Structure 1
Amino acid sequence: MDKPAITQAMIDAYDEYTHLTLDRRGFMEKLTKLAGSAGAAAAIAPLIGASKASAEMIAADDKRLKAEVVTYPGGAGEMKGYLVRPVDAADKLPAVIVVHENRGLNSHIRDVARRLALEGFVALAPDFLSPLGGTPDDEDKARDLFSKLDAAATVADAQSSLAYLSKLDGTNGNVGIIGFCWGGGVVNRFATKSTDLKAGVAYYGAQPPLTDVPGIKAALLLHYAGLDERINAGIDAYRDALDENDKTFEIYVYDGVNHAFNNDTSAARYDKNAADLAWKRTVAFLKKYLA
């Protein structure tokens, strides 16, 4: 059976659902109109959303890695996270905080942490919903919790994660951060506040207040999706502010791809060519600034 056709309007509706004001019922009603029937909408929705079944590129029990759930002090309470490191490292390694999307710490983000560890980093994927009890299994419930997070408290939790990693045995003291979607926005905001952060990589993340740009100390690598009009509206002003304040940064826009193009659990939005190129650039950038 052929896969149903997925249009840009359908993907845009999903983006409105996941990031703006549309709820699940409103999304399915809109998708039904676009698809022509409720049956077609039901078949299309899983292809646009993320699939837990396809979240694992690196096995959770990969013998090359040591992975564990850790707890450590956050800005105002206990933080939980997923810590991964290569088992055969001869030298101290740079460390990277991995910040999840607005679905919380899920299987996909844990897999991204494992991928980073295989590249020679100690990777920590914090659960930034820890202050609210942690990431629930229901992704819609997880999404709703993000509106209850305080931005300043989240930055404080990121700083606590950096402090934890910088002192962790086996790390070289240099810490970077990488984030996707909501996490990309966290990277941008955190970079304006932290004097200890060495490098930040934001995938399709919201730009920080431009008045805060002078506070950036870290080198930044910013990945954007060419079709992501909502986020891309802020690129030019952010680039100008970074230039005017003599910051170290690189910006790449990947033509013809959608927001979340790196998320390989979303069949409709994932773009392997863009994801592979962005990842290659990401690894080289982090190695350069965290050595």
Structure 2
Amino acid sequence: MTPLQRYIAEEIATDHVEGLMSRREAMRRLALIGVGATAASALIAACSDSSKPANGTPTASAPATSTGAATEKALPPGIENALQTEPITWPGPRGDLQAAWAAATEPKGAVLVLHENKGLTDWVRSVAGRFAGIGYSSLAIDLLSGEGGTAKFTDPAQATAALSKISPEDFLADMKSGVEELQRRTPGVKAAAVGFCMGGGLVWQLLASGEPQLAAAVPFYGPLPDGADFSGSKDVAVLAFYGSEDARVTGTKDAAQQALDRAGVVNQLVVEQGANHAFFNDTGDRYDPTAATDAWDKTQAWLTKYVG
């Protein structure tokens, strides 16, 4: 099992333990990424044990509506100024790459958006549109392009399984091609990479590879690569977000901090109190509007300071 497959498997098991999917669905999704029934049962049991506090009762994510009716009506941060995206393609290292492109009216910078383990969804397109709405032309790359694109998969679990089988080398090649295409479309401005969940982990991998065309990077609750060395990304300013209730990923925060400091990278790591994994995704069960708004505000300030 690759590190990405392990991460996705743990996420599926955690989703079941926290009541976000049935055991049957969790077992189906784990099977799709190659986890057998015995190993899947053991993983679920392990995740269940790790989620129990001292009193032995499993913790569960609070639903997005827990803060009251006003929360349900609140618009996601940045959506009020979001611009429309359009589908684009360009020649990539493994064939044509697909993406959603949102062009800012007067771009002051550019952003590569890296999606979650569900592929290029409407939510990810909306994030690209939000960045364009505040002046950063954005390209949300479809990392399933080599497999025909996210739209080919009618079952989101199949899309996740396909992503789990892509090699780190292919991910890196596609992301670097995305940065080049972003720069080609926005000449003369600095660029940043922003990613969520799996995409947050891919931002870390991009940094570990050394990406000279980036001025800033913002990984949201992304898993840190084993033995991460960011010495090739000394000129990239890194702002990372975690949720205090997301023990699985937030547990890697200190290691990320140490790796960034060793490399001399300008950085700020933020733990949003009371928030869980995927707190920025307003279409998900763990959406936290307070944490999302704070993260959006901090991200804007970071981009203004280090991108333009």
Shared fold (TM-score greater than 0.5)?
yes
Residue by residue over 1:150-194, the C-alpha shift from the partner in whole angstroms, topping out at 9 and shown as x without a partner, is 1111111111111111121x5433111100000000101101221
Aligned residues: percent identity?
33
Q: Counterpart of 1:195 in structure 2: which amino acid?
A: P
Structural mapping, 1:1-291, within 5 Å: 10-11=17-18, 22=30, 65=83, 67-86=85-104, 88-89=105-106, 92-135=107-150, 136-168=153-185, 170-193=186-209, 194-217=211-234, 218-266=236-284, 268-291=285-308
Q: Counterpart of 1:85 in structure 2: which amino acid?
A: A
Contact 2:85 2:125 in 1 (8 A): no
Q: Counterpart of 1:76 in structure 2: which amino acid?
A: R
Match of 1:155, SS? helix
Judging changes above 3 Å, is the alpha-carbon distance between structure 1 residues 234 and 57 closer, same or farther for their aligned structure 2 residues? closer
When normalised by structure 2's length, the TM-score is 0.73
Contact 1:68 1:83 in 2 (8 A): yes
Residue by residue over 1:219-277, the C-alpha shift from the partner in whole angstroms, topping out at 9 and shown as x without a partner, is 111000111111122111221121122111110011221100001111x3111000000
For structure 1, the 5+ residue unaligned runs are 1-7, 35-43, 49-53
Q: Distance in 2 between matches of 1:133 and 1:127?
A: 10
When normalised by structure 1's length, the TM-score is 0.77
Judging changes above 3 Å, is the alpha-carbon distance between structure 1 residues 152 and 15 closer, same or farther for their aligned structure 2 residues? farther
Q: Distance in 2 between matches of 1:283 and 1:220?
A: 13
Match of 1:172, SS? coil
Q: Distance in 1 between matches of 2:260 and 2:269?
A: 11
Judging changes above 3 Å, is the alpha-carbon distance between structure 1 residues 244 and 69 closer, same or farther for their aligned structure 2 residues? same
Contact 2:93 2:177 in 1 (8 A): yes
Judging changes above 3 Å, is the alpha-carbon distance between structure 1 residues 228 and 166 closer, same or farther for their aligned structure 2 residues? same
- Deviation at residue 210 of structure 1 after TM alignment: 2.9
- Deviation at residue 209 of structure 1 after TM alignment: 3.2
- Larger mean CA deviation between 212-221 and 181-190 belongs to 212-221
> Number of paired residues?
255
- Deviation at residue 132 of structure 1 after TM alignment: 1.0
Contact 1:203 1:223 in 2 (8 A): yes
List, as ranges, runs of 4+ consecutive aligned residues in structure 1 with deviation greater than 6 Å. Answer: 15-18, 24-27
Judging changes above 3 Å, is the alpha-carbon distance between structure 1 residues 14 and 162 closer, same or farther for their aligned structure 2 residues? same
**Coordinate RMSD, CA, aligned:** 3.4
- Deviation at residue 215 of structure 1 after TM alignment: 2.0
Query: Could you say which residue in structure 2 is the equivalent of 1:4?
Result: none
Judging changes above 3 Å, is the alpha-carbon distance between structure 1 residues 10 and 275 closer, same or farther for their aligned structure 2 residues? same
Q: Distance in 2 between matches of 1:63 and 1:250?
A: 26
For structure 2, the 5+ residue unaligned runs are 1-14, 49-59, 65-72
- Deviation at residue 107 of structure 1 after TM alignment: 0.6
- Larger mean CA deviation between 232-241 and 199-208 belongs to 232-241
Q: Distance in 2 between matches of 1:205 and 1:15?
A: 25
Q: Distance in 1 between matches of 2:16 and 2:202?
A: 27
